[in-house]
Amino acid sequence: MTFNDIFKSNFLENVTSVSPLDMVLALVLAFAVGMFIFLVYKRTYSGVMYSSSFGVTLVALTMITTLVILAVTSNVVLSLGMVGALSIVRFRTAIKEPLDIAFLFWSIAAGIVLAAGMIPLAVFGSVIIGIILLIFANRKSDVNPYIVVIKCDGQASEKKVLEELEKNTKKCVVKSKTAQKGSVELSLEVRLKDDNTDFVNALADIEGVQSAVLVSYNGDYMG
């Protein structure tokens, strides 16, 4: 059989089609699962600035993936064209939170599984993933980390600062140190004993200390 014989046959006419009921059911289920993913994302988000547009993207991505897979499974020729069309798509938006990648893949996977007709797998799988994320993503550390930035004029004042921090914090680790002529800048990670931050005022009162800054952060340090 040659290549021309394939197109002369009725191969292109023997394509399955998706019934309107299947389309509506798949899209409704995709919307419901997408909303569940969105609610889990909103509940577990721990970043600095929450983006509602990303949550809406999760819902839309689940439905769009379902729509694409329904079209691909109903027409062999369309599936070949879809592969070529999607291969040229490039995404330039940077993912700021590592957990966001998991939500994106979750939305895509849920859409694929729903369109494939594996509804129990999509529903129960999403519920289990959501429960796991709610348990682990909301688990907070008992002691929040802080960064203390100290500017002082020399080694003597630096030693006094370290002694003061050791007395008033559970843990004190030097993250970076910048020394210039007549000036030293320290960045230290500290764990507080309680919510009292009066020790920062005591640090600023030490002779030779020019400034003392206390900053809360999420534990990721870029040095």
Can you give the pLDDT at residue 6?
A: 47
Percent of the chain with pLDDT over 70: 74
For range 37-64, the mean pLDDT: 84
Residue 159 neighbours by CB distance under 10 Å: 13
**pLDDT band at residue 63 under the 50/70/90 scheme:** very high
- Exposure class string for 109-139: b at 16+ Cβ within 10 A, else e: bbbbbbbeeeeeebbebbeebbeebeeebee
As a whole number, the mean pLDDT across the chain is: 78
User: In this structure, what token pair is assigned to residue 144?
Assistant: 């929040």
Mean pLDDT value across residues 152-170: 85
* Rg of the chain on CA atoms, in Å: 28
The hierarchical CATH code for the domain 145-216 is 3.30.70.260
pLDDT at 127 over 90: yes
Q: Check residue 86 and give its pLDDT.
A: 58
Instruction: Provide the pLDDT confidence category of residue 140 given band limits of 50, 70 and 90.
Output: low
pLDDT tens track for 199-222? 888 888 888 888 888 887 754 544
The pLDDT of residue 28 is above 60: yes
Residue 30 — pLDDT band, cuts 50, 70, 90?
very high
Confidence of residue 49 (pLDDT cuts 50, 70, 90): low
What does the alpha-carbon distance between residue 198 and residue 114 come to, in Å, rounded to a whole number? 56
Q: What mean pLDDT comes out for the span 128-133?
A: 92
What is the location of CATH 3.30.70.260 in the chain?
145-216
Q: Please give the backbone phi and psi of residue 143, each rounded to the nearest 5 degrees, phi first.
A: -125, 115
What is the 3-class SS of the chain, one letter each residue?
A: CCHHHHHHCCHHHCCCCCCHHHHHHHHHHHHHHHHHHHHHHHHHCCCCCCCHHHHHHHHHHHHHHHHHHHHHHHCHHHHHHHHHHHCCCCCCCCCCCHHHHHHHHHHHHHHHHHHCCCHHHHHHHHHHHHHHHHHHHCCCCCCCEEEEEEEECCHHHHHHHHHHHHHHEEEEEEEEEEEECCEEEEEEEEEECCCCCCHHHHHHHCCCEEEEEEEECCCCCCC
pLDDT(100) > 50: yes
